Amino acid sequence: MPREDAPHESFDVDPPYVPDHEALAAVEKYDDRFLDRELSWLRFNQRVLELAEDRSLPLLERARFLAIFTSNLDEFFMVRVAGLKRRIAAGLAVRAASGLMPREVLECIWETARELSQRQARVFRDDIIPELRDHGIEIVRWSDLDPDEQKYCKKLFKDRVFPVLTPLAVDPAHPFPYISGLSLNLAVVLRNPETAKEHFARVKVPPIFARFVPLGNARFVPLEDVMRERLKRLFPGMEVLEVHTFRVTRNEDLEVEEDDAENLLAALEKELLRRRFGPPVRLEVEESISPAVLDLLVSELGVTRDEVFRLPGPLDLRGLHGIADLAREELKYPAFVPTTHAKLAERESAAPVDVFKAARRHDVLLHHPYDSFATSVQRFIEQAAADPHVLAIKQTLYRTSGDSPIIDALIDAAEAGKQVLVIVEIKARFDEQANIRWARKLEQAGCHVVYGIVGLKTHCKLSLVVRDEGDGIRRYTHIGTGNYNPKTSRLYEDIGLITTNEAIADDVAQLFNNLSGWSRNASYEQLLVAPDSVRTGLVDRIHREIGHHRAGRPARIRFKANSIVDEAVIDALYLASQEGVPVQLLVRGICALRPGVPGLSETIEVRSVLGRFLEHSRVFWFDNGGEPEAWIGSADMMHRNLDRRVEVLVHLPGPESCSAVDELLTLAFDADTDAWILGPDGTWERSHGDVHLQETLIERQRTRRTAG
């Protein structure tokens, strides 16, 4: 059966639709047409919190969503709030696209984040703790311990905890200590019985121990409770008057000058050291803290009263991951094991086959985690490394796991004499240190390691394998929406394409040349590449849909993304809506577009799906006059992606891949599918449909496996 390597011919719109001044003015007259991106992100984290509140979900999964909510909010303050404060202080902050001034945004952030944090604490106290107790899992405080448990904790403190504690006093000879970001701390007020003089000390809760101490019989107590009751051992001869927990969040966003690319590695390592000492942006304290201790913390840490979050204890619920990991399978999502894609498995034995052989027969469109990453992308790279006919492997790496088989395979390939080029993005936020280690390890093995283009992050997900097949050279390409990370591939929903399409291979080879050399070709046949052509390419296709709609041909736009913020793309979608083109947007996180505004966006629907897997793929679909066109890739609709990163979208070749994407989007936008719906005022309301997107896809995968 012949392959369909050639891209579909689209209907040309003649003349091409180009919005005139009047059409643009009809959009721009809506001054409040953009929702604020920071507040939209907080609404995303609110949806995560609503999953923790959802009693239809397994209990331990709800506890995990509370931990995820905490981690999400931590990163938001470390990066977004810290950056906003820095711009305000430098006088560089300008009015946001939403119309809000920077100070107004900051005040809204404090108010909303405080409300959500209080709500999280209530959910934990009033819902999760009682329900855990009903299922035989107890999180208790010190006063709830029986004598045997107290005895156990005292011994644990003496043998394990006490030896690693370092109390830091505050007095004229001891300045207020540095408080590391996200550490949990005890603020201790002491009194010398001989002089009656009061003193202050700080004790850090060691992060090397379990956040919730296991007591046996599925009972747990916060580690700070154990420490609080045994502090007299740290301060012999002193009276312990007060003990309060507190936690500081610091600016941990990186600022690296890239004028000299050769020194980028050293500059980044230096900046990572500086990150540890970033200024505070949030102070969390237990609501029982005394005014005097709070005044001291506020003064010494240099935070404002607005940045203080008084919360019910215990603070820092990231430790609930440990509770969620308990071996209570009946309180978790049913076990899920990805299966090998049908085109990569023998029909009779379901044993993995040669990826190259399969790819020569037909394109393989992968949908992770439903399709196994290990038996597809990972196997692709491992087979390339071991295959004597493979001459070269070119790969981008943005984030990968600590024990990555991808890294091992690339090292094996280099040591076997193959040409191996690896584009390592060492500025991947919070993975910088790990990526520096990988970069050096790869270089030592003989790989050609490049750090991308100065001034841009390399965020695209590309692999190119060059193979000598006797009758000539054939190139195999993988382009995906997710990182080459075997661990997150089991948790993140992503789409990838393995193909031998020559036009795609030509484009990818040229892009690798751009990334590793001085080539600056910005013209591609089957790719849209940021910062040159993703925004303009998508806007042009949105305009083309308007032309098709005006001509009476099928026209529809469907996007799936993590975030949609870019004003130019949003305005193009508004323009399409004003012309009557149906627009459907599936957005996991931030959405700055207002749907359903009369006269502006009446044909636009925005949905969000959250669940056991993190929806991460980016898909762009156009009905294109009856010849549908679909693109997948790494780019979200955000300024950083479109202007400051190397991103790639690939045009899916052949109708089969396009049909698979169509099926996914159709299910996501089905009226019966459970989702959150965005209103024109920026609020999200959950539509409790009978169909759950991820569970339906899991069931379909199981059905295919059974049928096979």
For the annotated catalytic residues, the residue numbers are 459
CB atoms near residue 141 (< 10 Å): 12
**Angstrom distance (rounded) from CA 692 to CA 170:** 55
**Measured CA distances, 350 to 340, 489, 632, 678, 699 (Å):** 8, 21, 28, 43, 18
Q: What are phi and psi of 558, to 5 degrees?
A: -135, 120
Q: Give strand ranges (E) for 532-575.
A: 557-561
**Measured CA distances, 526 to 412, 510, 520 (Å):** 31, 12, 17
**With the CA atoms of 641, 647, 648 and 649 taken in that order, what torsion angle do they form, in degrees rounded to the nearest 10?**
-10
**Measured CA distances, 507 to 402, 476, 527, 587, 705 (Å):** 31, 12, 7, 29, 35
**Angstrom distance (rounded) from CA 224 to CA 115:** 25
**Angstrom distance (rounded) from CA 162 to CA 206:** 10
**Angstrom distance (rounded) from CA 526 to CA 479:** 12
CB atoms near residue 329 (< 10 Å): 11
How many helices (H) and strands (E) in the chain? 21, 27
Per-state percent for the chain, helix, strand, coil, to nearest 5:
40, 20, 35
**Angstrom distance (rounded) from CA 617 to CA 637:** 12
- Chain mean position to CA 397: 16
Cα angle value 372/377/378 (rounded, 5°): 90
**Angstrom distance (rounded) from CA 314 to CA 317:** 7
Within 308-453, where are the H helices?
320-324, 355-361, 379-386, 405-415, 432-444
**Angstrom distance (rounded) from CA 296 to CA 305:** 12
Q: What tokens appear for 402 in the block?
A: 């600590």
Kind plus residue range of the DSSP H or E element containing 587: strand 583-587
Q: What tokens appear for 53 in the block?
A: 């509140």
Paired with 673 in beta bridges are 691
Q: What are phi and psi of 30, to 5 degrees?
A: -85, 90
Query: Which residue in this structure is represented by tokens 């394998």?
Result: 465
Paired with 591 in beta bridges are 564
Is 634 in contact with 461 (CB distance < 8 Å)?
A: yes
Closest by CA to 40, choosing from 692, 705, 679, is 679
CB atoms near residue 360 (< 10 Å): 13
- Contacts of the segment 690-694: beta carbons below 8 A, 24+ positions apart: 691/667, 692/611, 693/609, 693/611, 693/667, 693/668, 694/493, 694/609, 694/611, 694/612, 694/613
**Measured CA distances, 172 to 34, 176, 193, 199, 301 (Å):** 52, 9, 20, 11, 17
**Angstrom distance (rounded) from CA 180 to CA 78:** 12
Q: What tokens appear for 579 in the block?
A: 């012309």
Concatenated DSSP letters for 599-644? Answer: TTSTTEEEEE--SSSEE--EEEEE-GGGS-EEEEES--BSHHHHHS
Q: Is residue 647 helix, strand or coil? A: strand
Is 457 in contact with 425 (CB distance < 8 Å)?
A: yes
